[in-house]
């Protein structure tokens, strides 16, 4: 397994790729930001068990809110308890005509002020019982590098994938969506190949009750 490149090493290694108005330092930072925003690659997410004390009461007895520090976590990918997973919807679901589709889902309320502190808030399904275990798959905030020089490792194992992500950012600045999307597709292929190389092929259980024996894929 190759060692991670530091930010300074990335600047030296990939600097010649950048011929647009963006600097290599900016391109690396924006590439890493975009990778973390995807919330699907190893190291960019963390699974947390949510305790009852993590919730605060809403304006009525049926509403419970989960609040996260936006400086530590960049939003939730999904929630799951012992019986199944829960999707996340935006606030539009609360205002649809007819049956309120937001009643049984977690609603992303965005960043709000709570007692003078900015938090990222999620409203739980109405009538949510906080006494049962709940897990959240949460996106980490991307590391911020010092453009003047930084020996911090860039947390992307596949160097080819990192190169593709940097090129995608450069093409975006040139308003070239075709080549930008092509590089992101290349990034995904390299990341998947890297996972297979470093962690082996995924193992599957075959059987009538196999789904009851294994944890959901996003929590592995």
pLDDT by residue (tens digit) across 78-90?
A: 999 988 888 888 8
Q: How many CA atoms lie within 13 A of 209 on its CB side?
A: 2
Give me 7's structure tokens. 């930010």
DSSP-derived secondary structure letter, 6: B
Domain boundaries, the chain: 7-42+144-199, 45-140
Query: Strand 88-89 relative to strand 106-114: parallel, antiparallel, unpaired?
Result: parallel
**pLDDT, tens digit, 9 for 90 and up, residues 36-51:** 999 888 889 999 998 8
Which pTM value belongs to this model?
0.75
Q: What is the mean pLDDT of the chain?
A: 84
Least trusted range by pLDDT, from 60-64, 69-73, 134-138, 215-219: 215-219
Q: Is residue 126 a contact partner of residue 63, using CB atoms and an 8 Å limit?
A: yes
pLDDT, position 60: 78
Q: What percent of the chain has pLDDT over 70?
A: 85
**pLDDT, tens digit, 9 for 90 and up, residues 77-125:** 999 998 888 888 888 887 776 656 678 889 999 999 998 999 999 999 8
Q: How many CA atoms lie within 13 A of 70 on its CB side?
A: 13
């Amino acid at each position: 397994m190759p060692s991670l490149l530091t930010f300074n090493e990335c600047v030296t290694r990939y600097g010649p790729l950048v011929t647009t108005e963006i600097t290599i330092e900016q391109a690396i930072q924006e590439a890493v930001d975009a990778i973390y925003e995807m919330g699907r690659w190893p190291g960019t997410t963390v699974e947390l068990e949510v305790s009852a004390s993590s919730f605060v009461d809403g304006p009525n007895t049926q509403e419970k809110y989960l609040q996260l520090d936006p400086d530590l976590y960049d939003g939730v990918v999904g929630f799951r308890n012992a019986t199944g997973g829960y999707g996340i919807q935006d606030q539009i679901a609360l205002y649809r005509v007819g049956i309120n589709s937001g009643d049984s889902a977690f609603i992303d309320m965005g960043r709000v002020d709570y007692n003078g502190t900015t938090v990222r808030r999620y409203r739980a399904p109405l009538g949510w019982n906080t006494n049962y275990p709940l897990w959240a798959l949460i996106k980490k905030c991307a590391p911020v590098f010092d453009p003047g020089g930084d020996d911090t490792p860039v947390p992307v194992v596949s160097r080819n994938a990192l190169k593709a992500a940097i090129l995608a950012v450069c093409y975006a600045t040139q308003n070239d969506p075709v080549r930008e999307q092509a590089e992101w597709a290349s990034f995904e292929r390299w990341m998947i190949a890297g996972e297979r190389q470093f962690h082996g092929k995924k193992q599957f259980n075959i059987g009538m009750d196999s789904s009851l024996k294994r944890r959901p894929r996003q929590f592995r």
